[in-house]
Amino acid sequence: MASALARYPHFCNSATPEGRPIVRPRISNPAAAPNGKKPNNKLRRRSKADHFALNRALSAFVDSGCLDNAVYLFENMPRSDAYAWNVLIRGFVNKGLFREAVELYRRMAREGIRADNYTFPFVVKACGGMLALMEGEKVHAKLFKAGLDLDLYVGNSLISMYAENGRVDLAEKVFGEMCERDVVSWNAMISGFLSGGDGWSSLALLREMQVYGMRPDRYSLISALGATSLECYLRSGREIHCWAIRSGLESDFMVETSLVDMYCKCGTVYYAERLFNSASKENIVTWNAMIDGYASNALPSKSLACMKSMQDNYNLNPDSITMINLLPACAQLGFLRVGKSVHGHSIRKGFFPNMVLETALINMYGISGGLKEAKFLFGKMAEKSLISWNAIIAAHVQNGQNEEALGLFQKLWCEPLEPDAITIASILPAFAEVALLREGRQIHGYASKLGLGSNIYISNSIIYMYAKCADLSTAQQIFYKMSIKDVVSWNVIIMAHGIHGCGGKSIALFKEMQKYGVEPNASTFFSLLMSCSISGLVDEGWGYFNQMRGSYNIDPGIEHYGCVLDLIGRTGNLDCAKEFVTQMPMVPSARIWGSLLTASRKHGNIEMAEYAAKHILSLEHDNTGCCILLSNMYAEAGRWEDFEGIKSLMRKEGLTKTVGYSMMESRGKIYSFTNNDKCCQHASMIYGVLDIISKGIGVNIHSTRVTRFRLLDLAKERAKSAAAHAVRLAISFGLVSTAIGKPVLIRQNTRICEDCHSAAKKISDLSCREIIVGDAKVIHHFRDGRCSCNDYW
Q: Give the interface with DNA as residue ranges (CB under 7 A).
A: 52, 55-56, 59, 81-83, 86-87, 90, 93, 116-118, 121-122, 125, 128, 151-154, 156-157, 160, 182-185, 187-188, 191, 217-220, 222-223, 226, 229, 253-254, 257-258, 261, 283-286, 288-289, 292, 320-321, 324-325, 328, 354-357, 359-360, 363, 385, 387-388, 391
Q: Rounded to an integer, what distance in angstroms lies between the CA atom of residue 714 and that of residue 705?
A: 9
DSSP per-residue string spanning 626-681: HHHHHHHHHHHTT-HHHHHHHHHHHHHHT--PPPPEEEEEETTEEEEEETT-SSST
Give the H/E segment covering residue 772: strand 771-774
Q: Rounded to an integer, what distance in angstroms lies between the CA atom of residue 159 and that of residue 302?
A: 40
- Size of the chain in residues: 793
Q: Are 615 and 591 in contact (CB under 8 A)?
A: no
- Minimal distance, residue 178 CB to DNA, in Å: 9
- Minimal distance, residue 445 CB to DNA, in Å: 27
> 72: which DSSP letter?
H
Angle between helices 456-468 and 487-499 (to 10 degrees): 0
Q: Rounded to an integer, what distance in angstroms lies between the CA atom of residue 9 and that of residue 18?
A: 10
- Minimal distance, residue 320 CB to DNA, in Å: 6
**For residue 46, which phi and psi values (nearest 5 degrees)?**
-65, -40
- Minimal distance, residue 70 CB to DNA, in Å: 13
C-beta closer to DNA: residue 388 or 694: 388
Q: Is 299 exposed, middle or buried (0-12, 13-18, 19+ CB in 10 A)?
A: middle
Those residues whose C-beta lies under 8 Å from the C-beta of residue 594, and which sit 6 or more positions away, are: 612, 616, 623, 625, 626
C-beta closer to DNA: residue 325 or 749: 325
Phi-psi region of 572 (alpha: psi -120 to 50; beta: other; left: phi over 0): left
Q: Which of 660, 661, 671 is nearest to 737 (CA)?
A: 671
SS3 36: coil
Those residues whose C-beta lies under 8 Å from the C-beta of residue 716, and which sit 6 or more positions away, are: none
C-beta closer to DNA: residue 359 or 491: 359
- Minimal distance, residue 324 CB to DNA, in Å: 5
- Minimal distance, residue 188 CB to DNA, in Å: 4
Q: Rounded to an integer, what distance in angstroms lies between the CA atom of residue 14 and that of residue 70?
A: 17
C-beta closer to DNA: residue 94 or 674: 94
Phi-psi region of 605 (alpha: psi -120 to 50; beta: other; left: phi over 0): beta
- Minimal distance, residue 282 CB to DNA, in Å: 11
Those residues whose C-beta lies under 8 Å from the C-beta of residue 587, and which sit 6 or more positions away, are: none
Q: Rounded to an integer, what distance in angstroms lies between the CA atom of residue 684 and that of residue 425?
A: 41
Q: Which of 135, 86, 377, 64 is nearest to 74 (CA)?
A: 86
- Minimal distance, residue 226 CB to DNA, in Å: 5
C-beta closer to DNA: residue 253 or 611: 253
Q: Which of 765, 767, 769, 774 is nearest to 744 (CA)?
A: 769
- Minimal distance, residue 734 CB to DNA, in Å: 42
C-beta closer to DNA: residue 321 or 746: 321
C-beta closer to DNA: residue 322 or 631: 322
Q: Are 663 and 710 in contact (CB under 8 A)?
A: no
103-138 burial code (b ≥16 CB/10 A, e <16): bbbebbeeeebebbbbbbbbbbbbbbbbebbebbbe
SS3 223: helix
C-beta closer to DNA: residue 222 or 492: 222
C-beta closer to DNA: residue 49 or 576: 49
- Minimal distance, residue 72 CB to DNA, in Å: 18
Q: Are 730 and 790 in contact (CB under 8 A)?
A: no
Quote the radius of gyration of the chain (alpha carbons, Å).
35
Q: Are 323 and 289 in contact (CB under 8 A)?
A: no
- Minimal distance, residue 641 CB to DNA, in Å: 53
C-beta closer to DNA: residue 389 or 709: 389
- Minimal distance, residue 267 CB to DNA, in Å: 14
C-beta closer to DNA: residue 345 or 639: 345
- Minimal distance, residue 121 CB to DNA, in Å: 4
Q: Rounded to an integer, what distance in angstroms lies between the CA atom of residue 9 and that of residue 1?
A: 12
- Minimal distance, residue 371 CB to DNA, in Å: 16
C-beta closer to DNA: residue 83 or 276: 83
C-beta closer to DNA: residue 209 or 465: 209
C-beta closer to DNA: residue 158 or 437: 158
- Minimal distance, residue 524 CB to DNA, in Å: 29
Please give the C-alpha separations between residue 208 and each of 14, 186, 648, in angstroms, as whole numbers: 48, 9, 78
C-beta closer to DNA: residue 107 or 718: 107
Q: Rounded to an integer, what distance in angstroms lies between the CA atom of residue 439 and that of residue 91?
A: 53
